Chains A and B, each alone.
Chain A
Amino acid sequence: MEKVEDQNPQQEEDQVVNPWEVSAKDGGKIDYDKLIDKFGCQRLDQSFVDRVQRLTSRPPHVFLRRGVFFAHRDFNDILDAYERGQKFYLYTGRGPSSEALHLGHLIPFMFTKYLQDAFKVPLVIQLTDDEKCMWKNLSVEESQRLARENAKDIIACGFDISKTFIFSDFDYVGGAFYKNMVKVAKCVTYNKVVGIFGFTGEDHIGKVSFPPVQAVPSFPSSFPHLFSGKDDLRCLIPCAIDQDPYFRMTRDVAPRIGYHKPALIESLFFPALQGETGKMSASDPNSAIYVTDSAKDIKYKVNKHAFTGGQETIEKHRQYGANLEVDIPIKYLNFFLEDDAELEHIKKAYGAGRMLTGEVKKRLIEVLTEIVERHRRARAAVSDEMVDAFMAVRPLPNMFD
């Protein structure tokens, strides 16, 4: 589910958002309203958040409260069905292109875990090792190895093994899954897929035939060992909004082959440490906080590399306050600081100049360190046998309990 290297020629000088490229207009910020308009998905407003709280009898996840997951397609249908007693299943995934995961990578998984707990539904997680093998030119063995390594970090996010099936494409494609792939493939012309993904005559045929692999986990019949007899089961896909064009294709095909359209719930992009305009890149370790970073690393990165909206001098800062629009520590706290009241207080005080950048950074360092520590310890508890168990094709009798 990762960005593809190929470029679609830009038709406007507007922002560009698609599965392989994300860039704002004129090096500014992404305009999410425009994006929702252009893609045709819906805003997730407060009424949804309240409804989720009512249906699940627990406080909504911080990402919902703060508008991190802010757009959707057919989420109301999912909730309507849920209210009528009809469950659904979750589908998310990762393209295992590198061993080092950073916090941005974890966001969809953290949210998915919450959804699994809150709604008590099963989850399938796809590791697109074949995609990375093709796009990043890794060897088959290397991409499989990375898939397993990434699986450990994913498991460390706290998924329930009795309700979760993790699979790698190289292991699982075949049988019913492949039958659905062919059904989907028959419904998408070459021209269409070139339009969506920008393939050229130079691209190898592996790339061109890959998209169905990511589409079919949205259909329950792809997993006969889990959902046999449940062809009516709906699917909800939590993902970042750059994946939307991709699932538009899937939703277009679904009714033509007799399946429900998968619903989507989409998140903002996680900004790089250097600011919204910067890009998180695996080659620049200072652009993100990695799950393998030590407390010292986190402290160093936030202090030295986080882009802030604070003023140049303390006097100026006390007078004008900080620019919260561009301040990265505030944005990160928005993602990760659980306490709404505390965040409000910090925003007010910092925006008014009463709180200094150093204090905000300090709080952020605490929050991030706790998250990374917790993740590392959970990761240490994941053995190879546990990965095997999560990835085994086995029934999950209690998946809706």
Chain B
Amino acid sequence: MVYSKDQLLARLKELQIDFSQYEHPVVLTVEAQAKYVGNVGGALSKNLFLKDKKHRYYVVSALADTKVDMKVLSQRLGLGKGGLRMAPEEALGEILKVPLGCVTPFALVNESASHVSLLLDKGFKTQECCIFHPLSNDMSISLNAFGLDKFLKSIGRDPTYIDLEANPPVGKDQPPDRASLVPSGSTVLPDLPEKTPSQDSSGNHPSAGNNSTAVTAKADKPSNAVQNVKEKSVNGVRPLIPSTDAGKFVEELLDRTSTLLLSEISEDSIKRHGGQLGAEVANNIKKCLREDLKNLATIFKNTAYTEGFYAGTHYQPKRL
């Protein structure tokens, strides 16, 4: 049974989710949609229906302004660089049961979409309201991310918000950070609190069970251990965190200097230089650390300048 727009709206009301609805002529693009609901105070969304080479499907729902790089996303999901494509038009109707130009997170209410992975832009959370199509493109509804969450949970979905513009390195030591979002072989049947209206007896699950591993190629470690990409340094020095904290900055400088100092002073070097060891070590430290410390200082300077610049460009002139 395919959900209709009216059924969806009824469901939202049942769940006591606050939303506003706006009817308008059929629109196929965000630009066209903006003409009608661009000024209602909600953030427009762009919604992509994607598929990977193993016929797994994804709905990526983002703020219209968020830049979505399919290559980066593909890598973060562990699909390699060119793993993601726009899904073919037929899939829209078959799986999401929506017409062209109507991709929306709400389409996941349909049984046929139960194995489709949903990626939500974390930017939605900072908006008061976000605008989506409610299963048809002659209407837009505006609701808070909180409301969207409520709806998704009601169909057994765990809403996952990610920073779609992030581009963490993916490689041998850094497994794809979002590999867990790739649909796994076993279809997760939605845990529906109220029975959904009578379903298609065939329970359409197109190409869900292609393989059992959710992660391909690059990741060395199991996909469930979604690792945060941490900066590691070769010689064990703490990773650099951008900051204008003078204390931290000085600690970093002193750390490096004392590490080098300690390595320079050994029984051996004491024997070799005797009283001259001080001058010798001082020279070496200067030689080895000069460039390094200058670089750190430049980063500190640039960060402080940036803070000042930001403050300056947002300053409110005195009211006279």
User: Which residues of A are interface residues toward B (Cβ below 8 A)?
Assistant: 99, 117, 141, 145, 149, 155, 158-162, 292-297, 300, 369-370, 373-374, 376-378, 380-383, 385-386, 388-389, 392, 394
Does B242 lie at the interface of the complex (its beta carbon under 8 Å from any beta carbon of A)?
yes
Does B284 lie at the interface of the complex (its beta carbon under 8 Å from any beta carbon of A)?
no
Mask, B214-252, CB within 8 Å of A = 1, is 000000000000000001011000011110000000000
Q: What chain B residues lie within 8 Å of A160 (beta carbons)?
A: 298, 301-302
Q: What chain B residues lie within 8 Å of A294 (beta carbons)?
A: 169, 171-174
Cross-chain contact A381 with B242 (CB below 8 angstroms): yes
Cross-chain contact A295 with B234 (CB below 8 angstroms): yes
Cross-chain contact B173 with A296 (CB below 8 angstroms): yes
Does B196 lie at the interface of the complex (its beta carbon under 8 Å from any beta carbon of A)?
no
Cross-chain contact A380 with B239 (CB below 8 angstroms): yes
Q: What chain A residues lie within 8 Å of B239 (beta carbons)?
A: 377, 380
> In residues 269-312 of chain B, which contact A (Cβ within 8 Å)?
292, 294-295, 298-299, 301-303, 305-307, 309-310
Taking the closest CB of chain A, its distance from the CB of B78, in whole angstroms, is 16
Cross-chain contact A385 with B231 (CB below 8 angstroms): no
Cross-chain contact B302 with A377 (CB below 8 angstroms): no
CA distance A162 to B304 in the complex (A): 11
Q: What chain A residues lie within 8 Å of B171 (beta carbons)?
A: 292-294, 296-297
* Beta-carbon nearest neighbor of B220 in chain A: A296
Does B67 lie at the interface of the complex (its beta carbon under 8 Å from any beta carbon of A)?
yes
CA distance A378 to B241 in the complex (A): 9
- Given the interface pairs A294-B171, A369-B234, A383-B306, the reply to whether A162 lies near B301 with Cβ below 8 Å is yes
Cross-chain contact B295 with A389 (CB below 8 angstroms): no
CA distance A82 to B313 in the complex (A): 35
Q: What chain A residues lie within 8 Å of B310 (beta carbons)?
A: 385, 388-389
Please give 20 more A-B residue pairs, beta carbons under 8 A apart, in addition to A381-B241, A389-B305.
A145-B67, A145-B69, A155-B302, A158-B299, A161-B301, A294-B169, A294-B172, A294-B173, A296-B172, A296-B173, A377-B233, A380-B231, A380-B239, A383-B242, A383-B306, A385-B310, A388-B306, A389-B306, A389-B310, A394-B309
Taking the closest CB of chain B, its distance from the CB of A153, in whole angstroms, is 12
- Given the interface pairs A141-B67, A155-B302, A385-B310, the reply to whether A378 lies near B169 with Cβ below 8 Å is no
CA distance A372 to B294 in the complex (A): 17
Taking the closest CB of chain B, its distance from the CB of A181, in whole angstroms, is 28
Q: What chain B residues lie within 8 Å of A145 (beta carbons)?
A: 67, 69
* Beta-carbon nearest neighbor of B72 in chain A: A99
Does B211 lie at the interface of the complex (its beta carbon under 8 Å from any beta carbon of A)?
no
**5 A–B contact pairs at CB < 8 A?**
A373-B233, A377-B233, A381-B242, A385-B310, A392-B313
For chain B, the bracket of interface size reads 20 to 34
A160, A300, A369, most chain B CB atoms within 10 A: A160
For B306, give its contact among A99, A141, A297, A386 (CB under 8 Å). A386
Q: What chain A residues lie within 8 Å of B307 (beta carbons)?
A: 385
Q: What chain A residues lie within 8 Å of B69 (beta carbons)?
A: 145
- Given the interface pairs A99-B167, A294-B174, A297-B171, the reply to whether A376 lies near B231 with Cβ below 8 Å is yes
Cross-chain contact A380 with B240 (CB below 8 angstroms): yes
Q: Which 5 pairs from chain A and chain B are nearest by CB?
A: A381-B242, A389-B309, A377-B240, A294-B173, A386-B306
CA distance A40 to B118 in the complex (A): 60
Taking the closest CB of chain A, its distance from the CB of B173, in whole angstroms, is 4
Q: What chain B residues lie within 8 Å of A369 (beta carbons)?
A: 234
CA distance A117 to B233 in the complex (A): 26
Q: What chain A residues lie within 8 Å of B299 (beta carbons)?
A: 158, 378, 381
Cross-chain contact A292 with B169 (CB below 8 angstroms): yes
CA distance A369 to B235 in the complex (A): 11
CA distance A292 to B218 in the complex (A): 15
- Given the interface pairs A373-B234, A386-B306, the reply to whether A381 lies near B240 with Cβ below 8 Å is yes
Q: What chain A residues lie within 8 Å of B295 (beta carbons)?
A: 158, 374, 378
Taking the closest CB of chain B, its distance from the CB of A28, in whole angstroms, is 34
Taking the closest CB of chain A, its distance from the CB of B287, in whole angstroms, is 10
Cross-chain contact A370 with B305 (CB below 8 angstroms): no
For A161, give its contact among B169, B292, B305 (CB under 8 Å). B305
Q: What chain A residues lie within 8 Å of B303 (beta carbons)?
A: 381, 383, 386
CA distance A161 to B302 in the complex (A): 6
Q: What chain B residues lie within 8 Å of A370 (beta carbons)?
A: 234
Taking the closest CB of chain A, its distance from the CB of B12, in whole angstroms, is 34
CA distance A292 to B167 in the complex (A): 11
CA distance A294 to B172 in the complex (A): 7
Q: What chain B residues lie within 8 Å of A159 (beta carbons)?
A: 298
Taking the closest CB of chain A, its distance from the CB of B301, in whole angstroms, is 7
Cross-chain contact B240 with A378 (CB below 8 angstroms): yes
Taking the closest CB of chain A, its distance from the CB of B83, in whole angstroms, is 16
Taking the closest CB of chain B, its distance from the CB of A328, in whole angstroms, is 22
CA distance A145 to B67 in the complex (A): 9
- Given the interface pairs A380-B239, A383-B242, A389-B310, the reply to whether A297 lies near B302 with Cβ below 8 Å is no
A149, A155, A373, A377, most chain B CB atoms within 10 A: A377
Taking the closest CB of chain B, its distance from the CB of A34, in whole angstroms, is 36
Taking the closest CB of chain A, its distance from the CB of B99, in whole angstroms, is 26
